[in-house]
């Protein structure tokens, strides 16, 4: 049985996310609902024949298209241990009929990449393919395996030495305003854009998820030179934002910061994800940005999107 999410099911939803094999804190309602005014939420819950909740799907409606929630980078069906291949295959057939009866003509689906899985969870991809789903977009993300990281390249090692000579120190901090100042300048000057989250929004989300959303920065004395906002899940540390001042670039602050974070996060998670370096659904690659991340030992995984005509 498929049901649409309502606020009355908040506790049940969050329970399913915590129990799922592929859900993260981004799928908790406390994260999703901070921008609920921007999306027509059409999230779904799926129950088996014994009325047990086996999966939830963050989603929103855009006309006649049902989308994996646009406010999230990823988030298809989040599956509990009960949702094996047979169960997911049956669920998918019921789900597509439900979506058609609700007036949808297509599905845009963004599954959770494997680096965020707590246990193998790709039953949805098999069911999607069997239903006729096709690949629509492929985005390149740069990821380091902290269990066996590749070494920094020569440029990054030289940057580390400059940082050591400059006395750079890296640590977790709470000066969100200082980092947002650096970040705003970098995004405006280099990309003519601004952060997806306002300063007030990121502070709110950090307050709601203090163990998952953290700010780390590189300092020379009391001056912040560079920083990154980490989204920390059970399996991965994702750099949601990265920025360095001009002075930070001169003295290799980012290399020092990521060297510090690799060692720190290796005791907590397996993967360090620098995020995508693409535009236009992956059709345009930012070669310079990809080269910088590669210099820190990161290599490519893909964030895929699929379309299914209903």
pLDDT in tens, 127-153: 999 999 999 999 999 999 999 999 999
Distance CA 89, CA 92 (A): 5
Of 252, 277, 264, give the one whose Cα is nearest residue 214: 264
What per-residue confidence (pLDDT) applies to 278?
Answer: 86
Q: Decide: 174 and 215 in contact? Cβ < 8 Å.
A: yes
Distance CA 309, CA 136 (A): 12
User: Is residue 191 predicted with pLDDT exceeding 90?
Assistant: no
Residue in the structure block whose two tokens are 């609920």 = 36
pLDDT bin (cut points 50, 70, 90) of residue 49 is: confident
Strand 59-62 and strand 106-109: pairing? unpaired
Q: Decide: 218 and 169 in contact? Cβ < 8 Å.
A: yes
């Amino acid at each position: 049985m498929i049901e649409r999410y309502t606020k009355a099911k908040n506790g049940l939803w969050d329970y399913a996310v915590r129990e799922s094999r592929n859900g993260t804190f981004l799928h908790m309602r406390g994260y999703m609902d901070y921008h609920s005014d921007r999306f027509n939420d059409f999230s779904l819950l799926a129950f088996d024949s014994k009325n047990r909740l086996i999966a939830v799907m963050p989603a929103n409606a855009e006309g006649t298209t049902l989308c994996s929630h646009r406010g999230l980078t990823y988030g298809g069906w989040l599956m509990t241990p009960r949702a094996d291949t047979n169960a997911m295959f049956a669920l998918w057939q019921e789900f597509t009929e439900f979506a058609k009866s609700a007036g949808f003509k297509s599905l845009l689906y963004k599954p959770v990449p494997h680096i965020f899985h707590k246990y193998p969870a790709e039953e949805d991809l098999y069911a999607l393919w069997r239903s006729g789903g096709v690949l629509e977009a492929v985005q390149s993300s740069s990821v380091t395996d902290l269990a066996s990281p590749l070494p920094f390249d020569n440029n990054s090692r030289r940057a580390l030495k400059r940082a050591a000579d400059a006395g750079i120190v890296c640590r977790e901090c709470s000066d969100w305003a200082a980092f947002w100042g650096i970040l705003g300048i970098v995004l405006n000057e280099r990309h003519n854009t601004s952060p997806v989250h306002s300063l007030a929004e990121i502070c709110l989300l950090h307050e709601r998820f203090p163990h998952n959303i953290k700010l780390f920065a590189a300092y020379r004395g009391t001056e912040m030179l560079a920083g990154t906002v980490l989204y920390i899940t059970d399996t991965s540390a994702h750099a949601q934002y990265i920025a360095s001042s001009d002075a930070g670039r001169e003295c290799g602050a980012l290399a020092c910061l990521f060297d510090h974070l690799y060692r720190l996060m290796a005791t907590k998670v397996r993967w360090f994800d620098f995020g995508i370096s693409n535009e236009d659904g992956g059709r345009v690659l930012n070669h310079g940005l990809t080269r910088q991340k590669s210099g820190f030992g990161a290599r490519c995984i893909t964030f895929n999107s699929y379309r299914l005509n209903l």
